[in-house]
Structure 1
């Protein structure tokens, strides 16, 4: 494998380190649907040891399944690469570009996770320590991959699991049932795609970040998700941010970017994914 481009350490808001990485340290096509190519962008720790297998975190951008860019989570990916975990930014199909549905987006998210597991040796990652992360609709995709059985691409090797081992969710729209985000779009099909309605024993340990003034995801929904996770015997850490609205965690808001990244770091450290 080519030597990974050098990564440089900086400080954000005087408290939280992140790593300013070259735009594409490694760009891989993970899926092709007709003429559509979907890519992963991989960022490695600066002191990569190719004899080791590293945990990996894959980020899915937000945008209502309609639009968005992998660049949303570039600062997050760079930070975690600097902390010693392989970080990945994922493309997936969105309506504005590909005229596709959220069901297709979930299939893409699962394909991306399966690809990482299939390519674990080549990419120097641990297939049993894959973290799926995302914000808003991207958080939905991560949670759907972690909880939903089905919505797999039929032409893939389904003997390889598409399920992540842990979840980091930033204001995720994980209730798609009546009254939830996307219900008008899904209608009676919501049980197929709504993470809240598919929690079962063995659900991956999860951390959730949510502002108390989020207009798309009520606090009560996040609390119900946490309750269902606990009833299923799984860990779910919920962090509420008073007065914050949807998208408060993004890098442009240095205070809450720093605070949520620190909390995610502590969560992954508690799982043994970070030192």
Structure 2
């Protein structure tokens, strides 16, 4: 029929009508367009177009018999295909045993409670399978939990970076989450890189010093980009020049060599008198001014 439809003439019109109605019959029987397009040597779009033309074309007296659809795979075969080769049967069984116990852990659960021990083992096993390449959908199918729930558990226990919408543990659970060794940007929580502070609610929190320094640099850059000025110095550093004993050229800042003046902002500043004389002489030399002193 396909070859006859390509020749042209009255026979071509009849072959085209027969082909369109045959494709429509295959579609009614449940055949997919891709399965019909491959033996015909056409695209799925052309198969769809021919099936739409069947309504306007005359139906031939006889059509070839419509073949039966191939047998669908059994449920066991589908399940076998879905089983990931990266996870063993014993690991899947252990996940199913630990999942109900892990969901019972709350902030008031004791540290030596069997449910908390099972929760820790459950999180470690999930993290190992995650790093091995098992998808969250596969873990969700085995444990019966949502993929987002599995990710939130891994993030709260410090196995992966926590997302912006995932909240950390509170209360007693925060003590267990405190054992995290890296911040969400990968910096290690060493004593030199960790800053602890007390929140208004009384809880002690910690932050990464490297991340804090990065945020300060980004803030200073944004201020310079928008206003063209540098960020003002903190109030605690205004008294630092008073502790200076020598100027940048090495002159001692003695009372006789120190000149104090008031800036426009109202702050009292100091400068070196010898440096001031040197600047004045350099200015006179540049402009050819003869000093009368």
Q: TM-score range by the shorter chain?
A: under 0.3
Structure with the larger strand share: 1
Structure with the larger helix share: 2
Q: Which has the higher relative contact order, 1 or 2, with Cα contacts under 8 A spaced 6 or more apart?
A: 1
Task: Return the index of the structure with the highest Cα Rg.
Answer: 2
TM-score of the two chains, using structure 1 as the length reference: 0.24
TM-score of the two chains, using structure 2 as the length reference: 0.23
